[in-house]
Structure 1
Amino acid sequence: MSYHHLAMAARDMTAIHDFYERITGFELVKVEIAPMMGGGWGKHFFYRMDGDDSSFIAFWELNEVPGAEAHEFNLNKAAHMPPGTNHFAFAVHSAEELDARRDQWNAAGLDVLEIDHNWCRSIYTRDPNGNMVEFCLTTGTFTEADRARALAALDERTMNPSPPPASMRQWLARDRAQAETRSA
């Protein structure tokens, strides 16, 4: 079973739309407009992620909502958590698709962090709300030893670290722009 949609509020719906549709390639397919509990009204925008109608990411544009000036749209700041703790991870199905997503974000002027976690390879950037967004490719398989380690970690109260990532690389948008200028 997968989830149907993940919904969050947007600080700037125009910037969110640009990031999730033009830059990331999701398609805006539906809006629901309704009163909000507690006052005001909202537009609930749904973006199709995989070309089918089974999984979406959705954003609320809030209007005339009491206390709106105090809203925090970065999930980690709102929860007083370390940056990147709460984040969104979307699946890709090949290394070529992951590389294309990285290049797409970089070309849009976004810095990208790439990590090979030894069992999956991920790229990360931030959306206009400041939330970390990830594309992830599973590259390994899960063994009984992996499950046993995970079960044991449920009861551990001291840090017993996992092996370090196989690699980490920062892809800075300015480095890409400089490279393109040199090759022109």
Structure 2
Amino acid sequence: MGYHHLALAARDMKAIHALYEGVMEFELVKVEIGPAPEGGWAKHFFYRMEDDSKFIAFWELHDVPGTESFETSLSKAAGVPDHINHISFDVKDRAELERRREKWRAAGLDVLEIDHNWCHSIYTKDPNGNFVEFCLTTGAFSKADREEALAALSADEPAFSKPPASVKVHQAKAAS
């Protein structure tokens, strides 16, 4: 079982659209527009990620009471560091990961790249201030990995994991 969609509120749908469709290549396929139960109205935009069962969606709110100054960054809203709450999308191979890294850079975005030893990730921030990630699983999970994960559920002082194999920051490419 997978998830159907993740829905997030947005303040600037034009900026969201420019990133998620124009750069990240998710296609806007549907919008639902209607009244909000609390009052006001909303647009609910759905971006197809790979097929018609996987979407990321955004809410654009209009005159909904209490939403005048909501925080769009999941981590800021929760009061945790920026990297804690993030959205991760899979890629099929290293070539796709590299292509997406360069596309982000060409779009003027800085990219953090981390080899976590079992997966390889690239990160940037979206217009909502959320970290977004493309991730390639590069390892397999063993029985020992599961046992360690289960033990960590109740460990008060667990052993730290092996540090990342590499961490790189790729600056945005200069506009030409």
Q: Which range, TM-score by smaller chain?
A: over 0.9
Q: Which runs of 5+ in 2 are unaligned?
A: none
- Greater shift, 64-73 or 145-154, is seen at 64-73
Q: Percent identity?
A: 63
8 Å Cα contact 2:152-2:158 kept in structure 1: no
Q: Does 1:6 align with 2:6?
A: yes
Tell me the equivalent position of 1:42: 42
Tell me the equivalent position of 2:83: 84
Q: Does 1:160 align with 2:159?
A: yes
Tell me the equivalent position of 2:168: 169
CA RMSD of aligned residues (A): 1.2
Deviation at 1:159, TM superposition (A): 4.6
Q: Secondary structure at the match of 1:163?
A: coil
Which has a greater percent of helix? 1
Tell me the equivalent position of 1:100: 99
Structure 1 outlier segments of 4+, above 4 Å: none
Aligned length: 176
Q: Which runs of 5+ in 1 are unaligned?
A: none
CA distance in 2: counterparts of 1:38 and 1:156, whole angstroms: 43
Q: Does 1:62 align with 2:61?
A: yes
Give the TM-score taking structure 2 as reference length. 0.97
CA distance in 2: counterparts of 1:56 and 1:155, whole angstroms: 35
Give the TM-score taking structure 1 as reference length. 0.93
Deviation at 1:38, TM superposition (A): 1.1
Structure 2 counterpart of 1:155, one-letter code: S
Deviation at 1:84, TM superposition (A): 1.2
Structure 2 counterpart of 1:172, one-letter code: Q
Q: Secondary structure at the match of 2:150?
A: helix
